[in-house]
Chain A
Amino acid sequence: MQWGSLEQFLAMGGYGFYVWGSYVVCAGVIGAEILALRQRRRAALAEARRVTSTTGRPA
């Protein structure tokens, strides 16, 4: 391991802005996709349950 301290790790040899700018945005958009997927699943389930509850039970 070449990092002597947390400061060195965050500095990334002077490329901190580019490296962390890449990783933070990557994590952010993946996190946003996961939240959007959770929301879409919930909405689809709620709509399916609504349809089920308004459909008459088979005799």
Chain B
Amino acid sequence: MSSVTTRPGFSLFRYAAPNVFYPIAGRMVPLFAVLAAVLAAVGLYIGFFMAPTDAQQGDSYRIIYIHVPSAWMAMFLYVTMAFWAGVGLVFNTRLSSMMAQAIAPTGALMAFISLWTGALWGRPTWGAYWVWDARLTSTLILLFLYLGFIALQAAIDDKRRADKAGAVLALVGAINVPIIYFSVKWWNTLHQGASVKPGSSSMADIMLTGMLLMVFAFWTYAIAAVLVRLRAIILERERRAQWVIDAGRQGTL
């Protein structure tokens, strides 16, 4: 018996079925992993060997090539996680909830990297590893929201109930993301304002090029990591489903 119901015509909902998405995700992983490695190699080469020393900050500014990408990804992944958790809550699509669960650890990792690199950049620039500044504090809260989401999901045995509880937490916590983003405008903070804005940027072109390449490297890495974790979660949750048993016998898992 196959659990795939093929209907004539194209439907996006078809891809919401874990058994349909599982092999597609498997084909996407190597593509994004290779892209991430190539983008990181080129981005780091530009960042360390082509971009000049900064006139004000010396070479300490080179932390930017991992600090800004990880900070952006931490915020972006949170919004994506809350979105899929919300879709799972509203439409009861289990793949959406699994996607949210797959994003959380990589998001937490990105938040950690942004805080760590920020501390090591803050010390030579501001004279302190940590200050209770609006941008820094709201990013720390972001890390705690990720960890809270992971812990809450792990604490509830019934997976679908865990998904619903996690979704509520993720959606309520989403208010923190615009707070992080606008914190440098709303409050008087030590953290500098945005150097990159649509249409205008206060960075030298070569530095900006290196940084944007690293943003895409982190982005593609995150996609690959999330897809690998999503496939593992699908297997963990659906191991008793007929399609997993069939695929296991055919050696296509």
Contact = CB atoms under 8 A, between A and B. Distances in A.
Interface residues of B, number: 41
A37 B244 contact: no
A5 interface: no
A33 B109 contact: yes
Interface of A is mostly: helix
Contacts of B49: 1, 3
Interface stretch (B9-17, B135-143, B149-157, B225-233): B225-233
B235 interface: yes
A41 B248 contact: no
Q: Classify chain A: how many residues form its interface, as a range.
A: 20 to 34
Contact of B249 (A21, A22, A30, A52): A52
Interface of A: 1-3, 9, 12-15, 17-19, 21-23, 25-26, 29-30, 33-34, 37, 40-41, 43-45, 47-49, 51-52, 55, 58
Interface of B: 1, 48-50, 52-53, 58-60, 62-63, 66-67, 70, 105-106, 109, 112-113, 116-117, 120-121, 123-124, 221, 225, 228-229, 231-233, 235-236, 239-240, 244-245, 248-249, 253
